[in-house]
Structure 1
Amino acid sequence: MPVVRALFVYPVKSCGAIALDRSQLDVKGLQWDRHWMLVDETGRFVSQREYAAMARIVPAFVEGGVRLTMDGMSEALHLPFEPHSGDTRIRTTVTVWKDTFEALDEGDHAAQWFTQALGVPVRLVRFAQDVTRLASRKWTNDEDVPTQFADGFPLLVTSEASLAELNARLAAKGVPPVPMSRFRPNIVVDGGEAFDEDFIDTLTIESASGGEEIVLRFAKPCARCPITTIDQQTGEHNAQWPAEPLDTLAAFRADPRVDGGLTFGQNAMVVTGAGARVAVGAQAQWEYRFED
């Protein structure tokens, strides 16, 4: 039977992960996942695709907020969960891929911290709770599925069996294995065969809250980008194998459903269980998708 093996949130889009034993689930995904984002001077999001060093910005949950650190920075940056009374943050227009909407600028101190950390002018924005950004209805059966600053969907689910298959293929080429962190998932499931997720419709997970079960629908295969080639600890490419694991994925994971993109993992949406807590070790089951 499948088991939830790991949970991760990324409070600042494209920066480091926080591994959790349990997390609150919302229709927008795991709590505080991709709640903040860096943008350039035009308001467009930036990521490890442009600045691999973002991987070295390490978040941690602390009392009342998120603490960010990075080697070489003399001080940490603290982001409160809730705005202070009399908050006067400016609304600004931001762009994530094809979506343009309003967000809240987190001020000059945060902008200066990230600008110093990355060596390029950037600003930090927070997702505004009165803003609705929807996943592509092409993949949601025309349902309205809200998300925050994620690339496109509330959750990303990956499989230990699929990673084992990929690493076996890397080993056959003499390439070192890659950790799951390269794929930046929210939920990692152990159980089943490699790439079973290609054929799964729903994943049901027992709730740690004792309430209704959590049901996730797999909406879209996740086409992978060059971020998978970046070591998430060092923020650097492997000098000997700079294009892995994408080179290996190209041999067997091109998916016509996403215009030939190299897929690993599934973007998912919350069907039931919003407000529940999901925990590592939770039992799960899945239902396969049967097509005519």
Structure 2
Amino acid sequence: MLLMQLAALYRYPLKSGQAERLERVNLEALGLAGDRRWMLVEEATGRFLTQRLLPQMGRISALYNAAGGLTLNAPGCTRLDVALPEPDAELRGVTVWRDSLRVPDAGDAAAEWLSRFIGRACRLVQVPESRARQVDTGYAQVGDKVAFADGFPLLLIGQASLDDLSARVGRPLEMLRFRPNLVVQGSAPYAEDSWKRIRIGGVEFDVAKGCSRCILTTLDPQTGERSADREPLTTLKTYREREGDVYFGQNLLPRGVGELRQGMAVEVLE
């Protein structure tokens, strides 16, 4: 039997911003502490903004700072510290796919800084746990919540699955094209497709459903440039398409809290 371990941990403080690689992190009800708790929205409509529309968002570094807020950085910009909004801060109506919610706005300075960089009027918002969204109950329990991630609190990918895809495409592919939180080493390619429950350290997870992939996977995670050959999506469609969607990686629901550390054992329970 293969010995599996947690090979890498990533969080994305700002939805569609740069990844932050971690050696250890607390796991909370909403997923990794601080993961996708901040988001850009159109100023006029409150509609969420991502790299699908604005590839340059991938060049925004948004890291947690000691005061609990964000430190923003981007090419050609002066660094900006953004405070965590107060509980009684102005609430803004926003939409993430089919979900509508009201969340704290991070203020004018952040909005102006980000609007200048992405080239359109936007606002920065933050979601406290009390205002998080219900996960689709077709795959989750009532009370399972998600912050600003597309649909689920966590995404897992096996390193062997990426290695297999890279071999099929004919060039090495960056794991960050797929924006996972958890990377598992020691499993067979696509073994995660068959998992139903796993344990990492002392925490169990339900494997909810495969992750359907979009044009975002064709963007270079460093430059935001789109692959001229639409890879790896083109290759994925040849063997990972099901009912019109292309799947790579598995969405997880945590069934506990605790600390996750790189190198922890990963055990398949079901």
TM-score, L = length of structure 2: 0.95
Distance in 2 (alpha carbons) for counterparts of 1:230 and 1:286: 32
Distance in 2 (alpha carbons) for counterparts of 1:26 and 1:11: 14
**2:100 aligned partner:** 100
Distance in 2 (alpha carbons) for counterparts of 1:9 and 1:112: 25
**2:232 aligned partner:** 245
Unpaired segments ≥5 residues, structure 2: none
Secondary structure at 2:113's aligned position in 1? helix
Equivalent runs, 1:210-289 vs 2, <5 Å: 213-239=202-228, 241=229, 243-255=230-242, 259-272=243-256, 274=257, 276-288=258-270
Distance in 2 (alpha carbons) for counterparts of 1:2 and 1:79: 39
The answer to whether the 8 A contact 1:137-1:144 is kept is: no
Secondary structure at 2:168's aligned position in 1? helix
The answer to whether the 8 A contact 2:129-2:147 is kept is: no
Q: Kindly provide the amino acid, as one letter, of the partner of residue 160 in structure 2.
A: A
1:197 to 187, 192, 198: 192
**2:74 aligned partner:** 70
Q: Kindly provide the amino acid, as one letter, of the partner of residue 18 in structure 1.
A: E
Secondary structure at 2:102's aligned position in 1? strand
What is the percentage of aligned positions where both structures have the same residue? Answer: 38
Secondary structure at 2:204's aligned position in 1? strand
2:18 to 8, 16, 19: 16
Secondary structure at 2:151's aligned position in 1? coil
CA shift for structure 1 position 60: 2.9
The answer to whether the 8 A contact 2:92-2:105 is kept is: yes
Secondary structure at 1:5's aligned position in 2? strand
Distance in 1 (alpha carbons) for counterparts of 2:113 and 2:175: 29
The one-character-per-residue Cα deviations of 1:109-145 (angstroms, maximum 9, x if unpaired) are 11101101101111111103432411100012x4431
CA shift for structure 1 position 78: 1.4
Distance in 2 (alpha carbons) for counterparts of 1:116 and 1:83: 21
CA shift for structure 1 position 28: 0.6
**1:210 aligned partner:** none
Q: Kindly provide the amino acid, as one letter, of the partner of residue 61 in structure 1.
A: Y
Distance in 1 (alpha carbons) for counterparts of 2:209 and 2:32: 18
CA shift for structure 1 position 280: 0.5
Distance in 1 (alpha carbons) for counterparts of 2:144 and 2:82: 27
Distance in 2 (alpha carbons) for counterparts of 1:280 and 1:6: 6
**1:31 aligned partner:** 33
**1:155 aligned partner:** 154
The one-character-per-residue Cα deviations of 1:37-86 (angstroms, maximum 9, x if unpaired) are 0001200101000000000001233322331211111x112133x446xx
Task: Answer with 87-96 or 162-171: which moved more.
Answer: 87-96
> Structure 1 residue runs of 4+, over 2 Å off?
59-63
Equivalent runs, 1:178-193 vs 2, <5 Å: 178-193=173-188
Unpaired segments ≥5 residues, structure 1: 207-212
**2:57 aligned partner:** 54
Distance in 2 (alpha carbons) for counterparts of 1:61 and 1:236: 26
Distance in 1 (alpha carbons) for counterparts of 2:259 and 2:130: 24
Distance in 2 (alpha carbons) for counterparts of 1:230 and 1:89: 35
CA shift for structure 1 position 236: 1.0
The answer to whether the 8 A contact 2:72-2:80 is kept is: yes
TM-score, L = length of structure 1: 0.88
